[in-house]
Amino acid sequence: MHKLPFDTVLIANRGEIAARTIKTLRKLGLRSAIVYHEVDALTPAVSMADLAIPISGRTPVASYLDIAQIIAAARKANAGALHPGYGLLSESAEFARAVIKAGITFIGPAPEAIELMGDKIRARNFVQRNGFPVLPCAIEDDDPTTFVSRAQAVGFPLLVKPTGGGGGKGMRIVRNPNALEAAIEQARSEARRYFGNGRLYVERYLEIPRHIEVQVLGDAFGNLVHLFERECSVQRRFQKIVEETPSPALSPELRTRICEAAVGIARAAQYQNAGTVEFILSEGDFYFLEMNTRLQVEHPVTEMVTGVDLIAEQVYAAAGRKLALSQSDIASNGHAIELRLYSEAPERGYVPTTGKVLLLEYPDGVRIDSGIMRGQHITAAFDPMLAKIIVHAPSRIEAAMKAHRAVRELVLLGCETNASLLARILADEAFLGGQFHTGYLEENPHLATDNFATGLSAFLASAALLTRPVRASADAVPELHAAFGSWRN
């Protein structure tokens, strides 16, 4: 194996993806450096990195979006390469160009690919020109004065979407023609706030769709492979909560078609490095949704069934190596499920929650990608995802049972989370039967509603764990006492 052309990688990100990236860099014998805002000083990633460089800004998020500071940090660390993680600047062509201009290897696709796929209208038109299916839509830029009438002509229900960004921000479902103009203004306002860009388009909304995405890998020599699909239909506010692979919705024939379409789209874009092509699936037909030119949050489920370290493959591709894998080398074994642990209250409309992590106990026997540790303050400054619980088993039902047990064994005191919601989803008949779609949680609001019995059960489980001297250290007790007042086991 040839030596890599760099020995230090700067991670321009935070939380669990930064910690996850450091683990692979260690495995590859590379030195890790990380930038961090002071609110992240007590996070696992900062303590794990070989070098941690403080950055600052008007807000914590602003510091992680400051390209000049990040480039300066990379130079300070003598980093020969930079990994952008996901979110923040990971899909910024401007950032990728700045990194390359500074003489640093960008561990991701070329800026041109980021630019092409980062604008959803350009991506949609590109995919359609190359013969792949897209949903009917109306684009504001084509003629802003007729946008509303052209949107109405697409037919209801409609989905109003920003042209940039992601994570469900700025998206609105419109079923009533009288509500269209208000929804457009709301979507535009939110898109400007999150992305600095209020450009919109609308597309036909499918009422019972599945969200299916395909992981692809490419190198600089034109080699492209897929690593099968991920099912991402369990969502709230267009953001994923539970992901799995294989999808229970795909037949072998449909799986082949959708995976080959993903590779075809990536090949047309001359795509290099790791990326994900997302589709909407309804009644056996699938349509291009978008392409994420970065690593996905849910990449661990793909790693669990294929045995491929996707971050290692990203590093190798950025270093100019040919893919070591051909399509016939890649197999999917067993079933994997990922649960996103969020600091939020599902029973109160998924409002973000804050607090200090007083006690944190993860279950044994599963993969945990975590961005938090005991003593850390959970703030509202960032996305509320705290950690990911990933399980692998021979079958889907065994994976669901294993995931259910894991989330029930999880203990996090000091901050409300969605753990109870995750447990209820995993025990739900529709989920276990594979009968769900992107509107599953909206159609089953009872799953988000906690009750006294569930809360009491969680509290008693937590209290019982405190009696385990090996797992729950005694120095947690004074802080618990301060938080809850006088109490007994």
Residues marked as catalytic: 294
CA 441 – CA 254 distance, rounded (Å) = 26
What letter does residue 2 receive in the DSSP assignment? P
Contacts of residue 342, Cβ cutoff 8 Å, sequence gap at least 6: 241, 350, 384, 385, 386, 417, 418
CA 42 – CA 332 distance, rounded (Å) = 37
User: Side chain identity at 190, as an amino acid letter?
Assistant: E
Contacts of residue 234, Cβ cutoff 8 Å, sequence gap at least 6: 240, 241, 242, 243, 425, 431, 436, 440, 441
Q: What is each CA distance from 437 to 234, 280, 282, 444, in whole angstroms?
A: 7, 10, 9, 11
19: left (phi over 0), alpha (psi -120 to 50) or beta: alpha
- ∠ CA 236-377-372, nearest 5°, is 65
- Peptide bond between residue 157 and the one before it cis (omega within 30 degrees of 0): yes
- The SS3 assignment for 193 reads helix
- Peptide bond between residue 246 and the one before it cis (omega within 30 degrees of 0): yes
What letter does residue 6 receive in the DSSP assignment? -
Please give the full DSSP string across 392-425, using - where no structure is assigned: EESSHHHHHHHHHHHHHH-EEESS--SHHHHHHH
CB 465 within 8 A of CB 472: yes
Neighbours of 362 (CB within 10 A): 16
What letter does residue 480 receive in the DSSP assignment? H
CB 322 within 8 A of CB 223: yes
Q: Is 377 exposed, middle or buried (0-12, 13-18, 19+ CB in 10 A)?
A: middle
- Which of 452, 456, 441 minimizes the C-alpha distance to 349? 441
